[in-house]
Structure 1
Amino acid sequence: MKVALDCIPCYIKQAINTLAQAGISEDKAREIIHETLPLLPRLDPQGTPAENSTVILRKVNELLGIEDPFERAKKESNQLALELLPQLEEKIRQSPDSLLMSLKISVAGNIIDMGILKEFDVEGSIQEAMVKKFARDDYVSFKQDLKEAREILILGDNSGEIAFDSLLAKQLSQLGLEVTYAVKDRAILNDATLEDAVHVGLTGQIRVISNGSGFLGTILKDCSQEFQQVYTRADLIISKGQANYESLEAQGKEDRRLYFLLRAKCEIVAKSLEVQLGEMVFCRS
């Protein structure tokens, strides 16, 4: 997915949200924003929003002198999600279609996005996911593809959300699939890393690997050889969240293994997906 002019305010918004996590003075925050703005003309107009956002955010972290401004917030979101897991597991057990329910719970967790949203209602998102359908829904074809699949790769997105993804991973494992879950190699916004996977207990359930990259989304050219081998070998790939959609949407037009699972949290992504803002999606590109 290519950048649009409207992506520029979002870069700045993500930078401001990052600065808010650092607890610095408004004067210092303004100084960092002013030092970051000269990067805007040098961003790649042919790149993806995820790539360009990462350039800005790395500069912000560098100027802050903090490797992970979201460290405390990520731990809090992980803990919140863990507290909700027992009731969510019960909803899956009671559902006539446990796999579909686990997909809905997984996408409900996609509301935890501190780069875009200052406030989010996780429990409200879960309740909405229970009753609403996917605005774009390729679940039938996904179930058909599962019959021929052996290995499935889930591309993780945010902290907190990763705990909800563990329920989806469990359902897929129970179907006899070998599940691998990929996280970021280092901190960027509130994206999940190996530390988050350990926190929510995911590493004790399935194989979890780093993608070798610190970019938002999944920028394949920046990923490790180990990850690329897993990516190439997978029979199916579930891509979680907006940044993964932004970075893999073009590839998904050719690669029929890719299924995108997300909420459309910005107008540009919603337009690309041909859905309304805020709607849930589970689809091929």
Structure 2
Amino acid sequence: MNVVLDCIPCYIKQTINTLAQTDISEDEMREIIHQTLPLFPQLDPQGTPAENSTIVLRKVNELLGNKDPFHEAKKESNELALKLLPQLKERIKQSSDPLMMSLKIAVAGNIIDMGILKDFDVEGSIREAMEKNFARDDYSSFQTKLKEAKEILILGDNSGEIAFDRLLAEQLSELGIRVTYAVKDQPILNDATMEDAEHVGMTEQARVISNGSIFLGTVLKDCSDEFLQAYKMADLIVCKGQANYESLEALGKEDQRLYFLLRAKCEIVAENLGVQLGEMVFCLS
């Protein structure tokens, strides 16, 4: 998915949301914003929003002298999600289709996006996920492919959300499928890293690896050999969140292993997916 002009305000919004995690003054915030603006003409107009956002956000972190401005916020979102897990596990247990329920719970967690949404209602998102269907739904084809699958790779997205992904990994494991879960190599926004995977117990549920990359989403040319091997060997790949959609959507047109699981949280992504803003999707590209 290539950038459009409407992506530019989003770079600034992500910058402001990052600065809001700090205790610096408004004047200092304004100066950092001014220092990032000269980067904008250098951003690749043929790149993806995820790649260009990363370039801007890395500069913001550099100017802040803080590699992980969202560190405390990520811990809080993990704790919030962990408190909800017992009741969510019970919902899955009582469901007539536990795998579908775990997918809905995993996508409900996708509301935890501190780069785009300053405020979010996790419990409200869960209630909505229980009541609504996916706006685009390729679950039946996923089920068919699962019958032959032995290895699944889940591309993680945000902290907090990763706790809900643990329930999805658990359901897939119960089907006899080996699950590998990929996290970011370094902090960027509130994306999940190995620290988050350990915090929520994902490392106890699945094999967890770093993708070796500094970018939002999954930019294969920047990923580690270990990740690329896992990517190559996977029978199915579940791509969580907008940034993974932005960076892999074009590949998904050829690679029928890729399923995208997300909420459309911006109008450009929603339009690209052919859904309404805020709707949930589980789809092939």
Which bracket does the TM-score occupy, shorter chain normalised? over 0.9
Tell me what 2:71 maps to.
Answer: 71
The CA deviation at 1:22 is 1.4
Q: How many residues align?
A: 285
Take 2:198 and 2:235, find their aligned partners in 1: how far apart are those partners?
26
TM-score, normalised to structure 1's length? 1.00
Deviation above 2 Å: which 4+ runs of structure 1?
Answer: none
Deviation at 1:176, TM superposition (A): 0.3
Q: Mark the runs of 5 or more structure 2 residues left unpaired by the alignment.
A: none
1:57 partnered with 2:66: no
Question: Hey, what does 2:190 align to over in structure 1?
Answer: 190
Matches within 5 A, 1:220-231: 220-231=220-231
Question: In the alignment, what sits opposite 1:84?
Answer: 84
CA-CA distance at 1:184 after TM superposition: 0.1
User: What's the TM-score once normalised by structure 2's chain length?
Assistant: 1.00
Q: Distance in 1 between matches of 2:248 and 2:64?
A: 30
**Partner residue in 2 for 1:139:** 139
Question: Which residue identity lines up with residue 214 of structure 2 in the other structure?
Answer: G
Deviation at 1:205, TM superposition (A): 1.3
**Deviation (angstroms), 1:213:** 0.6
State the partner residue of 1:162.
162
Where in structure 2 are the equivalents of 1:207-222 lying within 5 Å?
207-222=207-222
Aligned to 1:258: 258
Q: Give 1:85 deviation, angstroms.
A: 0.1
Match of 1:127 in 2: 127
What's the offset of the Cα at 1:204? 1.1
Match of 1:27 in 2: 27
Name the CA distance, whole Å, in 2 between partners of 1:39 and 1:223.
24
Equivalent residue number for residue 107 of structure 1: 107
DSSP-derived class of the 1:181 partner:
strand
C-alpha distance in 2, partners of 1:65/1:79? Answer: 26
Distance 2:116 2:202 in 1: 25
CA shift, 1:275, in A, is: 0.1
Structure-1 separation of matches of 2:82 and 2:247: 29
Report Cα offsets for 1:63-109 as digits up to 9, x if no partner.
00001000000000000000000000000001000000000000000
Report percent identity of matched pairs. 79
Distance 1:194 1:24 in 2: 28
* Structure 1 residue 214: Cα displacement: 1.6
State the alpha-carbon separation in 2 of the partners of residues 43 and 82 from structure 1. Answer: 38
Structure 2 Cα separation of the partners of residues 117 and 69 of structure 1: 16
> Per-residue displacement from partner, 1:128-171 (whole Å, max 9, x unpaired)?
00010000000000000000100000000000000000000000
Aligned to 2:40: 40
Q: Distance in 1 between matches of 2:52 and 2:82?
A: 32
* Paired amino acid for 2:248: L
CA distance in 1, matches of 2:149, 2:84: 30
5+ residue gaps, structure 1: none
Cα distance in 1, alignment partners of residues 164 and 214 from structure 2: 22
